[in-house]
Amino acid sequence: MTDSQSSDAFVAFDRVQKSYDGETLVVKDLNLSIPKGEFLTMLGPSGSGKTTCLMMLAGFETATHGKILLDGVSINNIPPHKRGIGMVFQNYALFPHMTVAENLSFPLEVRKIGKSDREAKVKRALDMVQMGNFGGRRPAQLSGGQQQRIALARALVFEPELVLMDEPLGALDKQLREHMQFEITNLAHDLGITTVYVTHDQTEALTMSDRVAVFDDGRIQQIDAPDTLYESPTNSFVAQFIGENNTLSGVVKKMSDGFCQVELDDGEVIDCKAVNVSEVGERTQVSIRPERVEYDKSRLKSGTHTIKAEVLEFVYMGDIFRTKLRVAGNDDFVIKTRNAPDQRRLKPGETIEIGWLPEDCRALDAR
């Protein structure tokens, strides 16, 4: 799935391809439009093409075919330092022999900005990331989180309209990483900056983004708002890659009004939303999110499909219970239920009945 070109696009990829050897395409016919002020995340496994797209936008890689446009102007032949784009990398790339203030002043000197203007902009950028008192220190005197803040300030100091971030929080511990996710998102929105962010961390992508482009095999598989991606994946790859997901394999037996009947491989017949299937007899992989499944009969809604399951594992996780089941021959079926006083705790070995609504069950392509 690609994103159609839009006249209000601030950043646009127009049929962009990239090959390193002249034969294998690592980015395949990419069309993508990013409006001004959007926080877009490119998400995908290693080798999916997301970082290559970011590097082509930055100017560190050249597109083999197609055009990359910034505010309607092709930037294919413009060198990186003349694109006016801010960059933040995982390794910070701060100059160790310079103070924090000198690190921030450097991109301004390159742009031939006068001394008093430079000092004002450096102060503003440091205040933006709450590092106003650290101008005289060197990078080695800062913690990882502080260095990342300085790298962010340096990307913002010359007030770019577009900032690119490549796995910028990868080296931080979990708590600091989560804190910085909110800081970066809030700052980008407050300043109205268009941000293109690359990560392989799905939680980070869902937490931070206005839209997420999910890459696999050099193509965008789906591009949508985080809640749409999670609730309504359009193919099996996205369903599996975003969040935890249960899959059951089978064959389409009937189709009508956007729904289909699927006979699972163990003979059980279930009703599903027909999302990525087109005909009777087609193999399908059915997708159901763990939190959409209930085992408490009092919580089952009218129209719920029920099926027998054997409890393999019951794990207390504080706010939720995570239960692993054997369902229709699948030993990796997981359900997540809220830890509530009236929620029954299950025991391994017992047989239970579980249920879900047909609209929460999606018939996707068989992978």
- Determine the pLDDT at residue 189: 92
- Determine the pLDDT at residue 110: 83
Which conformational region is residue 302 in: left (phi greater than 0), alpha (psi within -120 to 50 degrees), or beta?
Answer: beta
Q: What is the average pLDDT value for the chain, to the nearest integer?
A: 91
- Determine the pLDDT at residue 14: 96
Whole-Å CA distances, 203 to 15, 44, 210, 241, 271: 29, 12, 13, 11, 30
Residues 47-67 have pLDDT tens digits of 999 999 999 999 999 999 999
User: Has residue 336 got a pLDDT over 60?
Assistant: yes
Name 213's bridge partners.
42, 223
Q: What would the two tokens of residue 15 be?
A: 């049929």
pLDDT greater at residue 262 or residue 113 = 262
Q: Sheet with 65-70: list strands edge to edge.
A: 25-35, 9-19, 65-70, 73-74
User: For tokens 């936008």, what's the residue?
Assistant: 57
Q: What would the two tokens of residue 275 be?
A: 């999302």
- Determine the pLDDT at residue 322: 95
What's at 347, amino acid-wise? Answer: K
- Determine the pLDDT at residue 234: 95
- Determine the pLDDT at residue 134: 92
- Determine the pLDDT at residue 92: 63
What's at 247, amino acid-wise? Answer: T
Longest dimension (CA), the chain: 76
User: Has residue 298 got a pLDDT over 90?
Assistant: no
Backbone φ and ψ of 303, nearest 5°: 90, 0
80-94, 140-154, 208-222, 240-254: which has the minimum mean pLDDT? 80-94
Distance (Å, rounded) from C-alpha 271 to C-alpha 273? 7
User: For the residues 71-85, what does the mean pLDDT come to?
Assistant: 92
- Determine the pLDDT at residue 33: 97
Backbone φ and ψ of 62, nearest 5°: -110, 135
Residues 174-198 have pLDDT tens digits of 888 888 898 889 889 988 999 999 9
Sorting pLDDT into bands at 50, 70 and 90, what band is 300?
Answer: confident
Sorting pLDDT into bands at 50, 70 and 90, what band is 333?
Answer: very high
pLDDT greater at residue 93 or residue 354 = 354
Residues 264-284 have pLDDT tens digits of 999 999 999 999 999 999 999
* pLDDT cut 90: percent of the chain above it: 68
Closest among 57, 84, 69 to 5, alpha carbons compared: 69
- Determine the pLDDT at residue 303: 73
Sorting pLDDT into bands at 50, 70 and 90, what band is 337?
Answer: very high
What is the three-state SS of 49-101? CHHHHHHHHHCCCCCCEEEEEECCEECCCCCHHHCCEEEEECCCCCCCCCCHH
- Determine the pLDDT at residue 330: 92
User: For the residues 95-100, what does the mean pLDDT come to?
Assistant: 91
User: Has residue 93 got a pLDDT over 80?
Assistant: no
Sorting pLDDT into bands at 50, 70 and 90, what band is 3?
Answer: low
Sorting pLDDT into bands at 50, 70 and 90, what band is 7?
Answer: low
Residues 224-233 have pLDDT tens digits of 999 999 999 9
Which conformational region is residue 329 in: left (phi greater than 0), alpha (psi within -120 to 50 degrees), or beta?
Answer: left
Sorting pLDDT into bands at 50, 70 and 90, what band is 138?
Answer: very high
Sorting pLDDT into bands at 50, 70 and 90, what band is 6?
Answer: low
Which domains are seen in the chain, by residue range?
A: 9-236 (3.40.50.300), 244-365 (2.40.50.140)
- Determine the pLDDT at residue 324: 97
